[in-house]
Amino acid sequence: MSASPKQPGRLGDANLTLRDDPRADPRMISAMEQLGLLQAAPSPISSESSIEEIRAFCDMAEEGYEMLNDTVTSSWPEAAGVVRETKIIKGVDDNDIALYIHHPRQSDKKLPGILHFHGGGMVLMSAAGSIYDRWRADLAATGMVVIGVEFRNGGGKLGPHPFPAGLNDCASALAWMNNNKSSLGISGIVISGESGGGNLSLATCLKAKQDNQLSAIDGVYAQCPNVSNRYLDKDPGLPSLFENDELGLSCAMMAALFKLYDPMGENARNPLAWPLHASHQDLQGLPPHFISVCELDPLRDEGIAYTRALIDAGVSASCRTINGVTHAGDMSYRDAMPEVYEASIRDIKGFAASVCATSG
């Protein structure tokens, strides 16, 4: 009798490191090695850490991530023919929100519009950061108008503003973009973002339904979204939380950082904070969705689970898994894996073109 096949990742070997994971793309491993990202260290914070300790760590981590992104993007070629503009709008909480607008220099027709929310778990990072600026520019270069939203974070330099501050800012940006479709020259709006921005993309759509604003959204494209809030008490129904924990992203770290998003835990099952808790009724009638996940990401299976819930609710929804990469790896290693990066750019453009009305 043949032996059972070994389970992948840390389900098969609890001590597996990313460097030794046979699923990992060797080009990504080489790039991470050069950046010093393979030297795993225990998380200095946990869910037992105080809010003050987590905020202090968040500030330090944000600075380090921004510096790393500056290093990573320094060799990337500049997108040709893209214009950058900044617009300040008022949010529903009477706060200023910066919108970073990227669009082709010339176009004789209306283009798909992308409302982009950056990553960082809703608690750190900035839309003005280099990696998000370059991502929006590369999307715009395909023939789209892309708007990045500087929403308030639960921590870091744009915090501390717990839920629902950031979500309110995203909803305010959606309303502004919808009201200015003509002047922006767009044929429709797709909400998109990765990681925490993926969460906010899905949550903004759910909120739009609650607020009777769903007609503003033509589609949602979420990349590796964190939507379950099951990072401390791991859900056995989401095996990637076990299989890929510590392979580039730590569940313990996420559980700690997300305390900044919902400090009292009052929204632990609120679908506007954690969309995987949306009911069948919450999901019915939503516009088309596409969810992209990464094979070596702890968040992989919750993105797949949300896609299945959408389909069960009658929503047009699809999902793809990018093999060989860690969390958001398709965005992060352009030099090492250009075709992986470019495939995600093309996929978002293709989805947006398919759901946004065309106009000459």
Report d(CA 260, CA 105) in Å as an integer. Answer: 40
Angstrom CA distances, 220 to 83, 198, 241, stand at 24, 9, 24
Q: Do residues 356 and 187 make contact, with C-beta atoms less than 8 angstroms apart? A: yes
Q: Where are the domains of the chain?
A: 47-354
H or E stretch at 317: strand 317-322
Percent of the chain with pLDDT over 90: 94
* pLDDT tens figures, 149-192: 999 999 999 999 999 999 999 999 999 999 999 999 999 999 99
> Coil, strand, or helix at residue 221?
strand
Percent of the chain with pLDDT over 70: 98
* pLDDT tens figures, 119-139: 999 999 999 999 999 999 999
pLDDT at 108 (0 to 100): 83
Q: Do residues 264 and 326 make contact, with C-beta atoms less than 8 angstroms apart? A: no
271 pLDDT more than 60: yes
CATH hierarchy code of domain 47-354: 3.40.50.1820
Q: Do residues 11 and 246 make contact, with C-beta atoms less than 8 angstroms apart? A: no
- pLDDT band at 1, cuts 50/70/90? very low
Q: Is the whole-model pTM more than 0.85?
A: yes
Q: Provide φ and ψ at 140, rounded to 5°.
A: -60, -35
- pLDDT band at 46, cuts 50/70/90? confident
Angstrom CA distances, 289 to 195, 218, 219, 296, 316, stand at 16, 9, 6, 22, 6
